[in-house]
Structure formats: structure tokens, C-alpha cells
Structure 1
Amino acid sequence: MDKEHGLRTYGYGIVQALYFAIALLNDVAGSNEVTNKEGPTIRKIKDYLLAAVAFPIAMFVGVTFWSLMAIDRELVFPKALDAFFPSWLNHIMHTNIMMFTLMEMITSFRVYPRRSKGLAGLTVFMGVYLAWTHVIYYNSGQWVYPVLEVLNLWQRTVFFLAMLLFGSLLYLAGEFLNNYIWVIKKGIVDWSPLTPSTGQASGCIDK
């Protein structure tokens, strides 16, 4: 398997592993109480990490990877890699991350951060990763994604901006999904989606 593909693939796996390690630590030493009140520090870190990075990035990776695979697999996962990266491992890295993150969203309540703070965290993460892809290209002469090889400078610029926009939309989708699920399951009343101005749910837990 080529080094560049490994860097991009395992990077996403590390993000998910980090989140679930923090989630486990929160289960042991933190709190999973269904409340809009602030919890212990580990709980706040867990909630923020899922909202700003783990959920949108997991969805981003899965949707973009399988969409490009459906269009032309050579753009994202050349057939030559099959000998080194079997199908089951491919699904672990690009399918399971979506499934497990959705399961976490459904089974564990979290308080989303202020929208501006959540989107800022996601933007910083994606910006750092984008910079890292250029560092790899500068040092190796190869893009980590074959699709970038067929795009000129302006097309790559539009592509990157579109991906940043898509990531932001996935953040908003996660925010809405989290609130929608927990309104139904836990009876949060007087609920409205998080807004940029308040960044907090308007409802409270129905006792």
C-alpha cells in the first residue's frame, strides 16, 4: 500500500479512536446524565469533539469516499491497492466509521457547543488536514487523493472550497439530528434547533 494512502486513511481512524477513547473515559470517570447543564470537563471535551470533528468528519469521509468510488474508483482508491487493502478493511475505514458514529449519536446525549465554536473547530481541523495534504505533495510529488491529480489549480481550489462547505453542512446536520433524536427520546420540551445567536437548546428536560 502506498505511503500517502496510509497517511490519509489512518489519520481518519486515529480521529475516531481518539473520540471513542475519550468517550470511554467519560463513561468511567465522567457523566452521561441527560441534561443541558454543564458536566465535568471530560464530558465537555467528549461532547465538543463529537460535534465539531468526529461526526462531521466520519460522515464526510464515508459519503465522499463511496461517492467517488461509484463515479470512478481510480479517483480515490485505485484497483491496484486491492492486493494490500482488502475489502473488509476498506469497509472498516470508510463504512464502519459512519455506522458507529451514528450509533453514538443515537445512544448518547450531548450538549452541542455554540454553533460558531463548533464550526470553528471543524474549520481548523479541515484546514490543518488540507495543509498537510499539500505538505505531502510538496515532499513526495504525489497527491494523497488521485482525484486531485486530474484537476488544475482553479479546479482544485473550487473542489477544496466545496468540501469545506460540505463539511459545514454535515456539522449542521449532526446538530439537528442530535436535537431531533433527543427531543423524541427524552422529552425535551419547548425545543428549537440550536441557533448561531444563542448556541444553546431553548428547551429543558421534561421531568
Structure 2
Amino acid sequence: MSRHIYFRIFGYVATIVLHIGNWYVMGLPKPIHIMADPHIRGYLEMRSRYFTRWTFFLQVFYAVCGLICDGMILKSTNKNYKLPRHLKGFRDTLFAAIVWPSTFLVFTFFWTLYVVDRDLIFPPFLDKILTPLSNHIMHTAIIPIALWEVIFQQRTIPKSHIKNVLYLIFYLVLYLSVLIYTYTEHKRWVYPVFQKIYGTIYFYIVMIFIGLLCIFFYSLQWPLTKRIWGISEKDKKKRKA
């Protein structure tokens, strides 16, 4: 059994504690004068529809899956024990197709707009309820969490990436549907940047760019995985074949 399993377990526990702890802190009651702000009330009303929140919930869910998988490995008395194929496939697909590209999209999209004009993504009124630490947990700490998994979890590079890309596209379309439904329901976009560009060609350009960016981030993980882990025996057999 590789000692990497203990590093993975540490990473999963740290991920759960970090995100759940931050979620708890953000959910603490706010002073009445802050809650009287209509912008704050609007944010709290729609906070479950932010892609950032979806992403850190995904990281927590994946960490729970990882703990279950590694717990099964540690519990087994068979040194050559292998996870059930469907369970391993679900875990690997969830990370590769959804968690990894979503994480890098949140980090890149948020901080790029924040530097250019924070009003487009994180208006100053949010400082009243979100501390800098909470902000960095949601938008910065997610990167080392994803990298930790790549470093300590050996994976086989898929022979075909079509299935993973289709899962990624489905996830993005699902979130876009939530955005559109929210706009239809409240007559405003979750993110201010879309409020500014909606009705122009730039809205569609940005949407297409986000999709292409996610596919780029998906592709980025495999050269990194290969560099860290080298070529697995399964990959060697595929090459020989």
C-alpha cells in the first residue's frame, strides 16, 4: 500500500473542515443594520446559485467520496485490493470532468475580474458579510486542494476524453440553465458582469469563452499528471498494443 493514501486522507479531511467551517462562519447571524441593506438581502437570497458555492460543495462531496474509497482500501486485508470498478470510475470521472475544470474556472474568472474591476464580480458591499479569509478560502484555497489530489492520487490518462468533456459540457449547461432561470425569476443576473453585457454580442462571446476555457483547464490536468506520475503500466501496455 502506497504511503500516498495517508496524504490523500489528510487532504480530504482538511478540505471538509476548511469548507464546512467557512460555510458555518458565513452563515452566522448578521447585525440588523447589515441585513437591512437590500444588496445584502439580494445576495443571501441567491447565494446557492453562485458557481463558487457549487464548486466548494463539489470539493467537499469529492473529499467524502475519497475518504470512502481510501477507507475501503485501508480496511481491506488484501494487499492487492482494488476498488470496485464503478466506484473508482465515478471518483475519477467526478474529479477529472467536473471538480478540476470548475476549480480553475472559479479561480481564474473571479480573480481576473476582481483585479480589472471588482464591481463586476465582488461588489464592495459584500465586504460587510464576507471576510478576506472567507473570500480566499472560496476562491484561492480551492487551487491547492485540487493540486493536492493530482499529486497524491495516481490516475490513468483516458484513452478517449469524449465522455469526460461531455460530462463537463452537461454540467456547464446545467449551471447556465440555473443562471437563466434566476434572471427570468428575479430580472437580474447573479453576477454583475452579466448584467452589464447582457443584450450585447459580448454576452455570447463570454459564454463561449468560458466553455472553451473549461475544456482547456480539463486538458491541462493530463500533462501535469503525466509529469508527476510518469507513464503507468496500463499506458505502457496501450502503447505496446
Residue of structure 2 equivalent to 1:63: 108
Map 1:106-125; keep pairs closer than 5 Å: 106-113=151-158, 114-125=160-171
* Equivalent residue letter for 1:148: F
Equivalent of 1:13 in 31, 48, 56: 56
**2: CA distance, partners of 1:64 / 1:78:** 15
Map 1:35-74; keep pairs closer than 5 Å: 40-74=85-119
Equivalent of 2:147 in 82, 88, 102: 102
1:77 and 2:125 correspond: no
Equivalent of 2:236 in 187, 203, 206: 203
Shift of 1:40: 3.2
Partner secondary structure for residue 202 of structure 1: helix
Shift of 1:39: 5.4
Residue of structure 2 equivalent to 1:130: 176
Residue of structure 1 equivalent to 2:17: none
Instruction: Give the TM-score normalised by the residue count of structure 1.
Output: 0.83
Q: CA RMSD in A?
A: 2.1
* Equivalent residue letter for 2:197: L
* Equivalent residue letter for 1:49: L
* Equivalent residue letter for 2:60: A
Deviations 1:32-56 (A, max 9, x none): xxxxx98532221111111001111
Unaligned 5+ residue runs, structure 2?
A: 1-39, 75-81
- Runs (4 or more) in structure 1 with deviation over 4 Å come to none
Shift of 1:6: 4.5
* Equivalent residue letter for 2:227: Y
**1: CA distance, partners of 2:87 / 2:235:** 24
Answer with 4-13 or 86-95: which moved more: 4-13
Aligned residues: 186
Answer with 111-120 or 14-23: which moved more: 111-120
Instruction: Give the TM-score normalised by the residue count of structure 2.
Output: 0.71
Map 1:151-170; keep pairs closer than 5 Å: 151-153=197-199, 154-170=201-217
**1: CA distance, partners of 2:223 / 2:177:** 29
Unaligned 5+ residue runs, structure 1?
A: 32-36, 190-200
**2: CA distance, partners of 1:94 / 1:165:** 20
Partner secondary structure for residue 203 of structure 1: helix
Identity over aligned pairs, percent: 26
**2: CA distance, partners of 1:84 / 1:75:** 18
